[in-house]
Amino acid sequence: MKARKNFTLIELLVVIAIIAILAAMLLSALNKARAKAYQSYCANNQKQIVTGLIVYAGDSNNWCITSYNTIPHNESAWTWGLEFYNRKYITYRTLDCPAAPVNYFRNTLSIVPPTWYFTWTPQGYNSWGLGAAWGGNGAPAMLNRLKRPSEAIAFADTLGATVTYDGYWAINDGSYFVERHNNTANLAWADGHVTSEKQVMVRYKNSKYLTLGNNKY
């Protein structure tokens, strides 16, 4: 009978190295697939949110929703998200982004979420051009009077205004943009379409796409 041949140490190390390389390749592919799925899920949610804006305008003589109302409410008590939720244009799940590290809506099951949840969402509203920056300090835009609604940012992935919360109800001047999907951010435009964009801070911060310069009326 022939003697049984055992693996040498070098052969064993080669096999382990090959397995490690294959595992790393598989893990990378799985991470990319998961990130793509998160991006698609978030974009679909933004599509529902901007559809809610269009429906709201149709129900409100073409006025966009105010960013938030300071009279008699305050920022933590009334925002556009709460109004959309109360009107059943969206569910609280619509305000989720699975790529956001923190999101209170993700951990809310069947309970009615507290109103302050709607202040800290990963989906932010264009509070400058569409919603009037600070409630009573100017009227919101009229959606049907935009010259080019496809060039007006309505909602976007947003970073928290503080280190405690990941996500904020408003984009503001673009300072709260965040590229959380493989270095891209989802943007929902006032005509209802959604795009995934790179370098959003460079391209869109304090731009005509937020302020609606030469677009409104």
Domain ranges of the chain: 10-211
Query: With pLDDT > 90 as the criterion, what percentage of the chain qualifies?
Result: 44
Give the residue with greater pLDDT, 134 vs 97.
97
User: Rounded distance, CA 207 to CA 59, Å?
Assistant: 29
Give mean pLDDT, residues 163-188. Answer: 88
Give the residue with greater pLDDT, 77 vs 72.
77
> Is the pLDDT score of 6 beyond 70?
no
User: Rounded distance, CA 50 to CA 189, Å?
Assistant: 7
> Is the pLDDT score of 13 beyond 90?
no
Give mean pLDDT, residues 35-56. Answer: 94
Give the residue with greater pLDDT, 131 vs 43.
43
User: Rounded distance, CA 156 to CA 169, Å?
Assistant: 10
pLDDT at residue 147, as a whole number: 94
Give mean pLDDT, residues 173-190. Answer: 94
> Is the pLDDT score of 136 beyond 50?
no
> Is the pLDDT score of 2 beyond 70?
no
pLDDT at residue 70, as a whole number: 60
> Is the pLDDT score of 40 beyond 90?
yes
> Is the pLDDT score of 76 beyond 70?
no
What is the average pLDDT score of the chain?
Answer: 84
Confidence of residue 96 (pLDDT cuts 50, 70, 90): confident
User: Rounded distance, CA 191 to CA 154, Å?
Assistant: 9
Give the residue with greater pLDDT, 14 vs 83.
83
Two structure tokens written together for 141: 């835009």
Confidence of residue 46 (pLDDT cuts 50, 70, 90): very high
Burial string for 77-100 (b: 16+ CB within 10 Å, else e) reads ebbbbbbbbeeebbebebbbbbbb
